[in-house]
Amino acid sequence: MASRIVILDGATLNPGDNPWTAIEQLGDVTLHASSKPAEIVDRLWDADVAITNKARLTAEILGQLPNLKFITVSATGHDCVDSVAAAKQGIPVANVPTYGTPSVAQFTFALLLELCHQVALHDEAVHAGEWQRCGSFSFWKTPQIELLGLTLGVIGFGRIGQKVARIGSAFGMQILAASRHRQNAPDDIPFAWATPDEIAAQADVVTLHCSLNENSRGLINREFLSRMKPSAFILNTSRGPLVDEAALAEALNADQLAGAAVDVASVEPITDDNPLLTARNCLITPHMAWSSLAARRRMMQVTADNIRNFQASTPSNIVNGKTL
């Protein structure tokens, strides 16, 4: 009997350019572009396999799904699923751990370089006629910042954090890294271990690449920000709740640090009252660092592999210790 596979929120993984073919070959697929919380139980009632990107599968919801056998999250972060509750019900939960590493690292530097050079601002100035009127072959409206010799503090030193460190090192930056897990340290990156507090005090650029959990929630708070250099930048392409957004907005508006760039927010889509929307020198993008077609194709393939391996009783990328 074919597996009954339900995709709860497929619109972001495949907005029309990333076919579901690899997954459709594995069972009877029902696709939903998005799912409201009140719709999830009905949609998964007779499903064997659930695919979710951001649709939340809480303990309460899972408790109403006695037929569900496997969950695969089409993302690296899997906090949208109560993995402990799933394990208690005997449901393995898988994720896609490596699909977005190159894209997220690249996007991190797109944000950093925009803070350093304000390319969009200068493009707008030229199109508004300022170059034509300035009387010189060159002008700039903001200080231009070179990365060579600056210190890059990477909080979270997994695959993405290490990729960011490699790029930073190629720019000639000095690398500090903080991680709860210091085993398997890379030997191809010149870096030094540091605590988050040491990074706050020493780094010219702080970039977040750690997972969201109860230990990391609110990691970037007023105390952390107060330790940072007034010339420093902070970047977040990881998870919005890692940052106390009100504290960051206050620090930016008080010139306690030079700028911030975030691709994530504490609530997504971002709400109208988010304090970062009116903060000074704060770039905000709509959680898109992961979204290159190349990355989404990898995500599609690994999601299909997770289902195929589960069907073959050789589950892969399990995050809740429940192998079968």
Q: Which residues are catalytic?
A: 239, 268, 287
Whole-angstrom Cα distance, residue 55 to residue 80?
Answer: 7
Strand order in the sheet with 174-178: 191-193, 174-178, 151-155, 205-208, 233-236, 259-262, 282-284
Contact partners, residue 283, CB within 8 Å, separation at least 6: 111, 114, 115, 259, 260, 261, 262
User: What six digits make up the tokens of 105?
Assistant: 């690292």
Write the DSSP symbol of residue 241.
G
- Do you find a cis peptide bond into 269, omega within 30 degrees of 0? yes
Ranges of H-type helices in 171-221: 196-202
132 contacts: CB under 8 Å, gap ≥ 6 = none
Instruction: Catalogue the E-assigned strands of the chain.
Output: 3-7, 27-31, 49-52, 70-73, 93-94, 151-155, 174-178, 191-193, 205-208, 233-236, 259-262, 282-284
CA-to-CA distance for 310 and 324, rounded, in angstroms? Answer: 8
Look-up of token digits 């420093």 = 232
